[in-house]
Amino acid sequence: MHSIEYRVYYEDTDAQGVVYYANYLKFCERARTEYLRLLGYEQKELMDIGVIFIVRKVIIEYLKPVNLDELIKIDTRLNKVKKVSFNFLQTIYNSNLEKICEAEVFCGSINSASKKPMLVPEKLLKNMTKEIS
Q: How far is the CB of 37 from a copy of itself (least distance, A)?
A: 9
15 vs 97 by CB, closer to a copy of itself: 15
> End-to-end CA distance of the chain, in Å?
11
Q: How far is the CB of 29 from a copy of itself (least distance, A)?
A: 6
Indicate if the alpha-carbon torsion angle 126, 131, 132, 133 is positive or negative.
positive
- Find the part of the chain contacting a copy of itself (CB under 8 A) among 43-51, 72-80, 89-97, 120-128: 43-51
Q: Torsions phi, psi of 71, nearest 5?
A: -100, 115
69 among known catalytic residues: no
Per CB under 8 A, does 21 bind a copy of itself?
Answer: yes
Give the integer Cα–Cα distance in Å for 54 and 130: 21
Q: Any idea which residues carry the catalytic annotation?
A: 14
